Structure 1
Amino acid sequence: MDHLTKLEEMLDRANTEIKNGNYESASNILEKIIDIDSNFGKAYNHLAYLYEVKFKEYEKGETLYKLCLEKSPMYPAVYYNYSILLSTLGKHTELKELLDTALTIPGVVKATVFNEYAIMYEQQGKLDEAIEYFKKCALDTLDKNVLNRAKESIDRCKLKKELL
């Protein structure tokens, strides 16, 4: 078994631990992957997710997402995960830069990126821009659930506009 295959198998094990709610165990496996190969960017993404979502240590999560981007800039998952953290923290300038880059990465689901732009604009009270991006999301997806969610989001933004 080659080096990369071993790391991918360890990553799969960590994912299983995360799914089963064994966050400490997952964290240990991910730390071990990084000890073996500090350039294996996917491990940083998964560890960042744990720090952000499960441990609520946002700064540590942000640092780890940045390391993932540095080591594996073509890994689509980091763009989704990191964008949610930046949105949570209200870091809209960094978020827009990340989303602009995400649209250039092969394998990134553009509808998901458009949705993140829309949420960002809605959070900023830029409702017309939010509606435009929710429309882009809707038109770019083949998933009926994503389409329905985008339509509901557009309706929500229109309601907010009526209140202004």
Structure 2
Amino acid sequence: MDHLTKLEEMLDNANAAIKNGHYEKAENILEEMIKIDPNYGKTYNHLGFLYETKFKEYEKGETLYKLCLEKSPMYPAIYYNYSVLLSTLGKWDELKELLDQALNIPGVTKSTIYNEYAIMYEQQGKLDQAIEQFRNAGLNTLDQATLDRAKKSIERCKSKKELF
């Protein structure tokens, strides 16, 4: 088994462990992967996800996401995960910069990125910009559930505008 195949297999095992709620096991697998190849960027994304979502250690998660971006800037998943963390932390300037980058990455689902822009603007009270981005999310999907969610989000923003 070659080096890359072994890492992919370990990553699959770590994902399975996360899915089954065995977070420490996943962490151990991912830490072992870093020892094997510290430049394999996907590892840092998955470890960052673990720290962000399961351990609620946002700073550590952010550090790991940044390492993933540095080592694997073409890996689409990092843009979704890191954008959610930046949104959670209210780091709007960094989030906008990350989303701007994401739109140029092959394999990134544009509707998801537009949705993240929209959430960012809605959380800042920039409702017209949020509506525009929810519209972009809807226009850039072939998935009915995503389209329905975009329409509901637009309606929510319009309702909020009535409160002003």
The TM-score bracket by the shorter chain reads: over 0.9
Distance 2:27 2:151 in 1: 38
Deviation of 1:124 after TM superposition, in Å, equals: 0.5
Distance 2:144 2:24 in 1: 36
Deviation of 1:27 after TM superposition, in Å, equals: 0.4
Deviation of 1:24 after TM superposition, in Å, equals: 0.3
Question: Which amino acid letter does the alignment assign opposite residue 14 of structure 2?
Answer: A
Deviations 1:32-88 (A, max 9, x none): 000100000000000000000000000000000000000000000000000000000
Deviation of 1:91 after TM superposition, in Å, equals: 0.1
Aligned to 2:54: 54
Aligned to 2:145: 145
SS at match of 2:56: coil
Aligned to 1:24: 24
Structure 1 runs of 4+ aligned residues shifted over 2 Å read: none
Distance 1:31 1:66 in 2: 16
Aligned to 2:14: 14
Structure 2 unaligned regions, length at least 5: none
The TM-score with structure 2 as length reference comes to 1.00
User: How many positions carry a matched residue from both structures?
Assistant: 164
Give aligned-pair identity as a percent: 76
Alignment of 1:1-164 (within 5 A): 1-164=1-164
Distance 2:33 2:144 in 1: 37
Question: Which amino acid letter does the alignment assign opposite residue 121 of structure 1?
Answer: Y
Deviation of 1:21 after TM superposition, in Å, equals: 0.4
The TM-score with structure 1 as length reference comes to 1.00
Question: Which amino acid letter does the alignment assign opposite residue 48 of structure 1?
Answer: G
CA-based RMSD of the aligned residues comes to 0.3
Question: Which amino acid letter does the alignment assign opposite residue 20 of structure 2?
Answer: N
Deviation of 1:163 after TM superposition, in Å, equals: 0.5
Deviations 1:98-143 (A, max 9, x none): 0000000000000000000000000000000000000000000001
Deviations 1:7-26 (A, max 9, x none): 00000000000000000000
